[in-house]
Amino acid sequence: MPKRSFAVYDVFSNRKLAGNPLAVVFDADGLDDAAMQAIAGEFNLSETSFIRPANNAAHRAEVRIFTPKHELPFAGHPTVGSAIAIMERAGEAAPAIFVLEEKVGPVRCAVRRDGEAMFAEFDLPRLPEPVPFSGDPAAVAAALRLSPQDIGFENHLVTAYSGGVPYILVPVSGLDAAARADLDTQAWVELTGPAEALSPGAFVYCRETAARENAFHARMFAGHHEDPATGSAVASFAGAITRFDRPAEGVSRHPVEQGVEMGRPSLINLELDVKNGALAGARIGGHAVKVSEGSLLV
């Protein structure tokens, strides 16, 4: 009977039972797409990553990422968690830099130790690009069970961006409005398109934060669930920050807190590289800690 090792990590947190859980299946070569999809459904976490031999000998591994329903071309917490899991399973000392192969393309990762936890960051494989979206702000508010007055702050407006996965980015007035947000799934699908993989998630954000040192507070709703930490959404959010806040030339940091309302506090580190007023590069990083491990008998 085949036996494949797996581990579950809490990602974008430096402590267990916080952040976003991720199942990592090692030695996944030999599993076809249907098998990986079925295993992801068995774990029933927001994402499961499968580690396979790299196609390019210069790269560290191929990573396939599945939700319980479909495959994703790219996702943030599986990239961070997989990079750290690969290092820990190999027993290698950090720091290290290597490339993971994802459906979106090669993803350059750097892993280091930060106190008791491991920290990984990756270069965005694609810089965020605007996505056409003509939804009326009042309709967006209604789909989030908010009032129109809750939408927007300063010069921030509702936008849509994709850094590999599209999101509708919804600025709200503050923590109170963010706490009251609650997605009406039917109304959201009617506003944005078909359900599941084709319907962009709602990334709700505000400038007011629970922790003073952070730059933004966020929640992310997709379908019938809320996500405690969404790196791919923050990749898209980099486009809105660049557009509305016009960061200064050079490197700037924009830590994003998420998952607070769920009791799964997460911290996503976002760095932007701005040259000549345009976004030239960006990185997303966070911690991950292992909470369980075992074997799959498939």
Q: Give the confidence band of 2 by pLDDT, cuts at 50, 70, 90.
A: confident
For 218-231, what is the mean pLDDT?
95
Q: What's the angle, vertex CA 14, arms to CA 12 and CA 16, rounded to 5?
A: 95
Distance separating alpha carbons of residues 21 and 54, to the nearest angstrom: 24
Closest CA to 240 of 135, 131, 123, 138: 131
Instruction: Pick the catalytic residue from 47, 62, 102, 257.
Output: 47
Measured CA distances, 263 to 11, 18, 19, 135, 229 (Å): 14, 7, 9, 31, 12
**Least trusted range by pLDDT, from 47-51, 136-140, 210-214, 223-227:** 223-227
| Pick among 3.90.25.10, 3.10.310.10, 3.40.50.800, 3.40.50.300: CATH of 4-123+287-296 | 3.10.310.10
- What pLDDT digit, counting tens, does each position of 85-135 carry? 999 999 998 999 999 999 999 999 999 999 889 999 999 999 999 999 988
Distance separating alpha carbons of residues 244 and 258, to the nearest angstrom: 21
Superfamily of domain 129-285: Diaminopimelate Epimerase; Chain A, domain 1 (3.10.310.10)
Closest CA to 61 of 22, 93, 91, 90: 90
Residue 1 has pLDDT above 70, yes or no: no
Distance of CA 117 to the CA centre of its chain: 19
The predicted structure's pLDDT at residue 143: 97
- What pLDDT digit, counting tens, does each position of 233-256 carry? 999 999 999 999 999 999 999 999
- What pLDDT digit, counting tens, does each position of 141-194 carry? 999 999 999 999 999 999 999 999 999 999 999 999 999 999 999 999 999 976
Q: Please provide the average confidence, as pLDDT, over all residues in the chain.
A: 96
The predicted structure's pLDDT at residue 194: 67
Closest CA to 187 of 127, 139, 254: 139
Q: Is 173 exposed, middle or buried (0-12, 13-18, 19+ CB in 10 A)?
A: middle
Residue ranges covered by each domain of the chain: 4-123+287-296, 129-285
User: Do the domains spanning 4-123+287-296 and 129-285 agree at the CATH topology level?
Assistant: yes
The answer to whether 55 and 148 are in contact (CB under 8 A) is: no
The predicted structure's pLDDT at residue 198: 55
* C-beta atoms surrounding 5 within 10 Å: 14
Residue whose pair of structure tokens reads 């993989």 in the numeric block: 197
Task: Tell me whether residue 47 is one of the annotated catalytic residues.
Answer: yes
For 185-212, what is the mean pLDDT?
86
The predicted structure's pLDDT at residue 223: 83
* Torsion angle defined by CA atoms of residues 211, 212, 215 and 216, in that order, rounded to the nearest 10 degrees: 40
Percent of the chain exceeding pLDDT 70 equals 98
Closest CA to 100 of 118, 117, 123: 123
Note if the bond before 95 is cis, omega within 30 degrees.
Answer: yes
The predicted structure's pLDDT at residue 135: 85
Mention every residue, 6+ apart, whose C-beta is less than 8 A from residue 93. Answer: none
Residue 197 has pLDDT above 70, yes or no: no
The predicted structure's pLDDT at residue 196: 47
The predicted structure's pLDDT at residue 199: 77
